[in-house]
Amino acid sequence: MARFPETSSSSRERARQSVTLQDIAAHAGVSRSTVSLVLRDSPLVADATRTRVQASIKALGYVYNRGAAALRASRTFTLGVVVYDIANPFFGAMVAGIDSVLHRENYVSFLANSEDSPERQQRFLERMREQRVDGLLLCPAEGTDPALLTQLVDWNMPCVQVLRHIGTPPFDYASTDFELGVRQAVDHLVTLGHRRIVFLGGDARHSATQARHRGYHEAMRAHSLDDVHRVIRGAVTRRAGFDAVQHLMQESPRPTAVICHNDLMALGVMLGLQRLGLVPGEDCAVVGTDDIEEAALSMPALTSVATHPYAIGEEAARLAMRRIANPDGAREQVVLTPRLQVRHSCAPIPTPEKTSYRRYPHATLDA
Amino acid sequence: MARFPETSSSSRERARQSVTLQDIAAHAGVSRSTVSLVLRDSPLVADATRTRVQASIKALGYVYNRGAAALRASRTFTLGVVVYDIANPFFGAMVAGIDSVLHRENYVSFLANSEDSPERQQRFLERMREQRVDGLLLCPAEGTDPALLTQLVDWNMPCVQVLRHIGTPPFDYASTDFELGVRQAVDHLVTLGHRRIVFLGGDARHSATQARHRGYHEAMRAHSLDDVHRVIRGAVTRRAGFDAVQHLMQESPRPTAVICHNDLMALGVMLGLQRLGLVPGEDCAVVGTDDIEEAALSMPALTSVATHPYAIGEEAARLAMRRIANPDGAREQVVLTPRLQVRHSCAPIPTPEKTSYRRYPHATLDA
DNA sequence: CCTCGTTTTTGGATTGATCCAAATCTGTTG
DNA sequence: CAACAGATTTGGATCAATCCAAAAACGAGG
């Protein structure tokens, strides 16, 4: 692979060896240091020199060696990003948001999919330390030991938690107010006349699930519906939604509305209702969370709490940039406000004098 | 940040400076070189020495410095991955497949979302060169200059193209046989009695679109349906599918089936049919491509050409590993065979003596 | 022309690992 | 016990940048 040096190790003579600062310096008639300053856009160098050096860089086809730079400098302009399920479209959108910000900032990111395994996550984080990334964006895997946070502090590694969080404040965090989101959903349903409202999903002990449950309980209490409040724990997949609703609808009196941990579940619930010969939205109102693209497409179109994954990704990345620029600044929590996207999956409870006026909502792609 | 050196630069004295190979060597009573060999799992070191060194590594809390290693060694155990739309669930699944293989191989990857911009892609690739990644997984952005391939050869940078390809063989490539997939779809529809089959979508000039069109044309010709063959070019979004079918259904005679460039389009088409008061599958058969998770959920469940994104990701990553291990080996093309996943969105054309026996298919999550 | 304060430029030290040829340590064997 | 092969270990050179204190160049004012 590496060619045997022909006679001497004179930098001029090496065949296709890589071009270094030294070579540029010789070509432009300046010192290594000056070239280095030009590469880093330092204001110290005179314009004429800068132009000349840049010409030499282009002429010799120089390639900056980030490894060498990293060895001496404190920053690497790299970041580590950990999500637990990249196949979930929610995270796809979030990563797109992260990427857009990092691109503007000349940063580049390592991505890992922890599959909700703390061990796998830990291994990746250690690798990131070896790579000397400037910081981390972390959606902590289910069951992550809160001690991880102090470990990262020991490592002197900036970390922005995203969506979920472990440990206790202060820490950097970017997410959506899931609690508020669920409250909005309950309020909406109550306004439509619903009372027997079930919250579906969320086995996990992590913060994002807890916040949803808290929002549900509080909203139900605020409407004096403590007696009918009901949380069904379990997985948060399409299949789980499909199955859960089968059981739910056999009860009597049966719920008139379900709020789901995420949209995938909600879509599963709607399918489950159809399987039972029921009309989603009419026979049982359904609200999802996230407002993924598919929500607008379902029949009927799904009412969902929009959590704006792309924006969360952007905010998280921006917060990381701030923290890297100012490592000792006060920790920040950027919590976006969700918005209830009302579509057609929640009909009002028919009152005696008012019959269901619309048997099937219109198909639409709007909103 | 970096503390002022108190008296001497003796490595023992520096306060919280990082632990280096030198320190480990001193602690374990061996040389730097030996420690380095232990770190790289070399078979050269004696077991007793290895054990002793590993103990020292643990005792001193040593952190491997990948930047320093990269400076001297030829491999970095990093890879660059470029996709053009990470928010698309197809790519999410693909990236998950890539990640699973890389994790096993002790590799870590940079991810970029090109948003189908060749400029953005180029910038990322140059950055990857600076990072000295061992190789690339590239889903080339629409409109990428085929000269990029020779550029990468000049750079001496292994590159596996994924899904789409530019340039002419030989090159490394991992994908699915889109041509065959469309042929399967046409065959299926023809078997059900369809003749006026339209292919929908694909404005782009890249290989994946061309392969689909080729498959369509050839299958139609094979069934002597040249006279009715019809490709409608355009975007490949939900919206595009929704809009296109509105126009299509106003024609007379109207098509009895549409094959879509991807599932998102197909779902849009089904929604468009509903908007027109038509029953998807009955009044017009619909076939998608990709078989994303949502396909099984739609009403009716979408028949789709499964392209196995996770498997493509795995194959692409494995191919990259092979290429890195053997840079001069023969280029490989790993082309997976798609499978037509038949569900309920394609009813047979009713023959005079046989009326439509089922007005609405069953909701199901199966398959 | 000399001084003084900026603005630019510079060379040597440093960063932390790997490479590689040579040295050293084993254990056989004649 | 010397010779030798094989298994281990080693030190110096090297990779390609940044840091930093000091030198050089420059321009203005006396």
Question: What would the mean pLDDT of B128-136 be, rounded to a whole number?
Answer: 97
Interchain CB distance below 8 Å, A113 and B96:
yes
Q: Share the mean pLDDT of chain B.
A: 89
- Map residue B185 onto helix, strand or coil: helix
What's the CA–C1' distance between A155 and C16, in Å?
18
Q: Which nucleotide is nearest to B44 (CA to C1')?
A: D8
In Å, what is the separation between the CA of A45 and the C1' of C5? Answer: 18
What's the mean pLDDT when you consider all of chain A? 89
- Interchain CB contact of B144 with A (< 8 Å): no
**What is the CB-side half-sphere exposure of residue B230 using CA atoms within 13 A?**
13
| A362 touches B at CB < 8 Å | yes
Report helix, strand or coil for B213: helix
Can you say how many angstroms the Cα of residue A196 is from the centroid of all Cα atoms in its chain?
32
Share of chain A above pLDDT 90, in %: 78
Domain boundaries A1-64, CATH class:
mainly alpha
Question: B302 or A350: which carries more pLDDT confidence?
Answer: B302
Give B139→chain A minimum CA distance, Å: 16
Give mean pLDDT, residues A197-218: 91
Measured to protein CB atoms, the chain D nucleotides within 7 Å are 7-12, 14-20
Per-residue pLDDT band for A361 (boundaries 50, 70, 90) equals very low
In the predicted structure, residue A364 carries a pLDDT above the cut 60: no
**Shortest CA to C1' contact from A34: nucleotide:** C9
Q: Which residues bind near strand C, taking a CB cut-off of 7 Å?
A: A 2, 29-34, 37, 43-46, 48-49, 68, 71-72; B 9, 17-18, 20-22, 32-33, 36, 39-40, 62-65, 68-69, 71-74
Which of B74, B130, B157 is the best residue to mutate to test the A interface, defined by the most A CB atoms within 10 Å of its own CB?
B130
pLDDT band for B10, please (50, 70, 90 cuts): very low
CATH architecture label of A178-306: 3-Layer(aba) Sandwich (3.40)
Grade residue A356 by pLDDT with cuts at 50, 70 and 90: very low
Residue entry with tokens 């949502």:
B294
CA distance B243 to B276: 11
Helix H or strand E encompassing B11: none
Query: Which residues make Cβ contacts (< 8 Å) with residue B361, sequence separation at least 6?
Result: B281, B300, B301, B344
The tokens describing A45, both together, are 């160098």
Residue B363 confidence (pLDDT): 52
Please judge whether A112 and B103 are an interchain contact, meaning their C-beta atoms are less than 8 angstroms apart.
yes
Average pLDDT of span A199-215: 89
Contact A255, A278 (CB under 8 A): no
The one-character DSSP state at A144 is: -
Same fold, A1-64 and A78-176+310-337: no
Q: Which CATH superfamily is domain A78-176+310-337 in?
A: Response regulator (3.40.50.2300)
A300-310: pLDDT as tens digits: 889 999 999 99
| Nearest-angstrom CA–CA distance, A95 and A198 | 32
* Structure confidence at residue A66 (pLDDT): 96
Phi, psi of A196 (to 5 degrees): -85, 85
Residue in A with minimal Cα distance to B129: A63
The CB density around residue A127, as the number of other CB atoms within 10 Å, is 21
Q: Which nucleotides of C are covered by protein (CB under 7 A)?
A: 7-12, 14-20
Q: Treating both helix axes as pointing N-terminal to C-terminal, what angle do B21-28 and B47-60 enclose, rounded to 10 degrees?
A: 120
How are beta strands A108-113 and B108-113 bridged, if at all? Answer: antiparallel
Query: Is the CB of residue A261 less than 8 Å from the CB of residue A200?
Result: yes
Query: How distant is the Cα of B226 from the closest Cα of chain A, in angstroms?
Result: 34
What are the structural domain ranges in chain A?
1-64, 78-176+310-337, 178-306
Which of B16, B66, B290 to substitute to test the interface with A, most A CBs within 10 Å? B66
Q: Provide the pLDDT confidence category of residue A355 given band limits of 50, 70 and 90.
A: very low
Q: How far apart are CA A161 and CA A263, in angstroms?
A: 23
Footprint of strand D on the protein (CB under 7 A): A 9, 17-18, 20-22, 32-33, 36, 39-40, 62-65, 68-69, 71-74; B 2, 30-34, 37, 43-46, 48-49, 71-72
* Amino acid occupying residue B89: P
Residue A350 pLDDT level (bands cut at 50, 70, 90):
confident
B13-67 pLDDT, tens digit per residue, is: 333 468 999 999 999 999 999 999 999 999 999 999 999 999 999 999 999 999 9
Does residue B11 register a pLDDT over 90? no
pLDDT reading at A367 higher than 80: no
Find how far residue A86's CA is from the centre of its chain.
9
Identify the residue whose Cα has the smallest distance to the C1' of D12: B33
Question: pLDDT band at A198, cuts 50/70/90?
Answer: very high
Q: pLDDT digits over A310-337, tens only? A: 999 999 999 999 999 999 999 999 999 9
CATH number of the domain at B178-307, please? 3.40.50.2300
B104: buried, middle or exposed (CB in 10 Å: 19+, 13-18, 0-12)?
exposed
Residues B176, B336 contacting (CB under 8 angstroms): yes
Contact B132 A67 (CB under 8 A): yes
- The larger pLDDT score, comparing residue B287 to residue A299, is at B287
pLDDT at position A363 = 52
Kindly determine whether residue B267 and residue A87, on different chains, have CB atoms separated by under 8 Å. no
User: Which positions 260-279 of A are in contact with B (Cβ < 8 Å)?
Assistant: 267-268, 271-272, 274-275
Q: Does B331 touch chain A (CB under 8 A)?
A: no
Single-letter code of the amino acid located at B141: A
Q: Mean of the pLDDT values across residues B172-195? A: 96
The per-residue pLDDT for range B77-124, each reduced to its tens digit, is 999 999 999 998 899 999 999 999 999 999 999 999 999 999 999 999
Model confidence pLDDT, tens digit, residues B201-234 = 888 778 999 999 999 999 999 999 988 889 999 9
Chain B residues with CB-CB distance to A129 below 8 A: 63
Q: Position A63: which residue type?
A: V
> Helix, strand, or coil here: A11?
coil
How many other C-beta atoms can be found within 10 angstroms of the C-beta atom of residue A310?
17
Asked if A17 has any chain B CB less than 8 Å from its own CB, the reply is no
pLDDT at B79: 98
What pLDDT, on the 0 to 100 scale, is given for residue B355?
Answer: 46
User: Would you say residue A236 has pLDDT above 70?
Assistant: yes
Count the alpha carbons within 13 Å of B312 in the hemisphere toward its beta carbon. 29
Asked if B71 and A68 come within 8 Å (Cβ–Cβ), the reply is yes
Strands (E), chain B: 78-83, 108-113, 135-138, 159-162, 172-176, 197-200, 230-232, 257-260, 285-290, 303-306, 333-336, 339-341
Residue nearest to nucleotide C6 (CA to C1'): A44
3 state DSSP class of A86: coil
Distance CA B65, CA A129 (A): 8
Report residue B359 as tokens: 């007005």
Q: Which tokens in the block code for residue B174?
A: 């991992």
pLDDT, tens digit, 9 for 90 and up, residues A246-287: 999 999 899 999 999 999 899 999 989 988 999 999 999 999
Pick A88 or A152 by higher pLDDT.
A152
What are A103's two structure tokens?
């691109």
Which residue in chain A has the smallest CA separation from B263?
A294
